[in-house]
Structure 1
């Protein structure tokens, strides 16, 4: 089973500060490099930071960081295209993902719509034990938690599209 978990915060820099706190934890969380940080400034501009963009290769067993970034790009669509520069060169071709892979989940749609001005979120997509560990780690940080299950067929389709967009 797979899941999506996001923690929304007030303040455009709050999610980044929360991630910095988590990165200092010892021993390191196995999922720490797979988390995306999404923020919307007071003007409404979107910023997406994902560690997967530092890894130029997309393998058949595409990593969770790339899948998280791919899903984030899909959720925020063309409105987030300006933020795509931070996500790596494959973002433009990945936008075709919206047509090819549809995550018909109202929780995901509502989450994307709910990221208001001057707010931010930490986002992770992964297997359920990883999502549970992430939830345990972020709960003490405050914020509003948004979660939903993701079907295996959707994960496979997302991997396929991301692999072909490279």
Structure 2
């Protein structure tokens, strides 16, 4: 399962030992490590990045979470605690869009107190024991968040609501007296704009999902090269699961896109 993982440590040394442990588990095929970063919060509360997340589709979520923590807790280019909510809106929206969620960010931020160090990673793991055993041995406090389909579900729900509004308005239009028809027609055009925006959102999410699955599958295939037969079997299972997850997400997005197209044609 594709997860965001954060482990908070007392020292920078322990955090990098934790990162090396994840790399070892990746090498053994116990997990797949897609991307990682390490951030430090000093005794004055200032956050700095010791290792940045990888660029590209696979590293995007770790980069967003890193930026979100910096924005929430304060740091270079970030927003200090107590800054306006509007200043964090972009970060929080992007986190939700990436399937991470604001609650996860909040839980981590409460533990990442002054002097602590956080290891952030996007991983594929079918069971938690290997990671828990290695990171707990370094004193790590571990947080996980399953990458969710909440955005896809939201797009489908919003589209259904807009479709219902449009049908109701079109019915009203056929029954309206002459002086009310212009106002109802304006409402219809407004709802159609929402439907078009939702359709564009679904299209963008489809493109994003395709880029992510291509990058994830390539990383898994690279990991499988030279792996033992046992490890290779686990990795191939992850590839199958990743493709199944991609199909489920894209089916929802295609459904939303098709419904939007039909609504705009009405």
Shift of 1:71: 2.1
Q: Secondary structure at the match of 1:35?
A: strand
User: Of 65, 76, 79, which residue of structure 2 is paired with 1:71?
Assistant: 65
Structure with a larger share of its residues in helix: 2
Question: Partners of 1:50 and 1:42 in 2: how far apart?
Answer: 21
Report 1:83-102 matches (<5 A): 96-99=90-93, 101-102=95-96
C-alpha RMSD of the superposition: 3.9
Unaligned runs of 5+ in 2: 79-88, 153-203, 212-266
**Structure 1 residues 7 and 139, CA gap change in structure 2 (3 angstroms):** same
CA shift for structure 1 position 151: 1.1
* 2: CA distance, partners of 1:135 / 1:152: 25
Whether 1:115 aligns to 2:109 is no
| Structure 1: 4+ residue segments shifted above 3 A | 20-33, 78-81, 99-105, 126-137, 153-157
Question: Contact 1:50–1:69 (CA<8 Å) still a contact in 2?
Answer: yes
Please report how far the alpha carbon of residue 45 of structure 1 lies from its aligned counterpart in structure 2 after TM superposition. 1.0
Q: Which has the higher strand share?
A: 1
Where 2:137 maps in the other structure, the secondary structure is helix
TM-score between the two structures when normalised by the length of structure 1? 0.61
TM-score by length of 2: 0.41
2:18 paired residue number: 18
| Cα distance change on mapping 1:69 and 1:101 into 2, 3 Å | closer
Shift of 1:72: 2.2
**CA displacement, residues 59-114 of structure 1 (integer Å, 9 cap, x when unaligned):** xxx11x33211122124326545167xxxxxxxxxx83434553545343121232
* Residues 33 and 51, structure 1, Cα contact 8 Å, conserved in 2: no
